[in-house]
Amino acid sequence: MTQQLRLMAVHAHPDDESSKGAATMARYVREGVEVLVVTCTGGERGDILNPKLADDPEVLANIADIRKQEMERAREILGVDQAWLGFVDSGWLENYDPANASDLPEGCFAREEIPVAAERLVRLMREFRPHVVLTYDEHGGYPHPDHIQCHNISVAAFDAAGDPEQFPQAGEAWQPQKLYYHISFTKAQFLAMHEACLAAGIESPYGERLEDWPDEWDKGKRITTRIECGEYFALRDEALKAHATQIDPDGPWFRAPLNIRLAAWPTEDYELAKSFVETEKPESDLFAGVRS
């Protein structure tokens, strides 16, 4: 097609874009696709997960500004554009149930009414006019309040953006053609990387987790689409490390050598949740059916 292809990835916090779908985005950018990352919150209530910075008083005092700076570095590494949706981080709540959102801080993202929060995203969708939208599944990928809310507003905005009667003040209607959910860290993926480590004669960082893997964690059967993007894994690692408050460079993300991760599982994987175009599964292109 002669029209410029556009991809929008909607994420809850700065750093989520680098841990989910980063290599996919880097690949498409370099193939000429316009890619916009939408970051719903500033990550203001996020913990400092890098032990090397956990007690740094400057980091503790300026976490919101620092996370914006980290996002800017990661954005430059991946080559994407990025927009802040402007909501406030809800913080982590153990065993979170959306029915108990009132337990979260007043004014936070997860306590926003879904139509109210979705309107901001509808406006961005109508401005950017994406053909494909990426977001989290109904469980948020994992049950962080902001991830679940990110799913909620992404689906609501996807459904509303093409309807001129919904949010008429938010711009001219535009219907994205496909909606995908990230399907990350499946048992098959961890097992492949575990076995690759053992075959290479190195200690596997995945064995302990595989021993205690609840069946409900595994969403591998939901995968419809695998994007070959291994040549961009190094960029993905670099973008992750740019989020220095959130990522320990000596932590579990990087314990297996890059060449082993690349050989064992060279794709990032997705579930096609909604589509207005015909496509044949399994897919190897997020724009399958859109290009023709």
List, for residues 226-274, the tens digit of each pLDDT value.
999 999 999 999 999 999 999 998 888 888 999 999 999 999 999 999 9
pTM of the model: 0.96
C-alpha span between 222 and 180 (Å, rounded): 11
Token pair, residue 180, equals 């995908």
C-alpha span between 39 and 127 (Å, rounded): 16
List, for residues 59-86, the tens digit of each pLDDT value.
888 999 999 999 999 999 999 999 999 9
Tell me the Ramachandran region of residue 91: left when phi exceeds 0, alpha when psi lies from -120 to 50, beta otherwise.
Answer: left
Q: Does the annotation place 144 within a ligand binding site?
A: no
Residue 189 covered by a domain? no
Write out the residue range of the structural domain in which residue 165 sits. 6-184+219-258+266-275
Token pair, residue 84, equals 């802040």
Residue 14 covered by a domain? yes
List, for residues 166-216, the tens digit of each pLDDT value.
999 999 999 999 999 999 989 999 999 999 999 999 999 999 889 888 877
Residue 172 covered by a domain? yes
Token pair, residue 282, equals 């399994």
The pLDDT of residue 2 is above 50 = no
pLDDT of residue 92: 92
Residue 166 covered by a domain? yes
Q: Using 50, 70 and 90 to split pLDDT, how confident is the model at 1?
A: very low
How many structural domains is the chain composed of?
Answer: 1
pLDDT of residue 38: 98
C-alpha span between 72 and 242 (Å, rounded): 9
CATH of the domain at 93: 3.40.50.10320
Q: Rounded mean pLDDT of the chain?
A: 95
Tell me the Ramachandran region of residue 237: left when phi exceeds 0, alpha when psi lies from -120 to 50, beta otherwise.
Answer: alpha
Residue 107 covered by a domain? yes
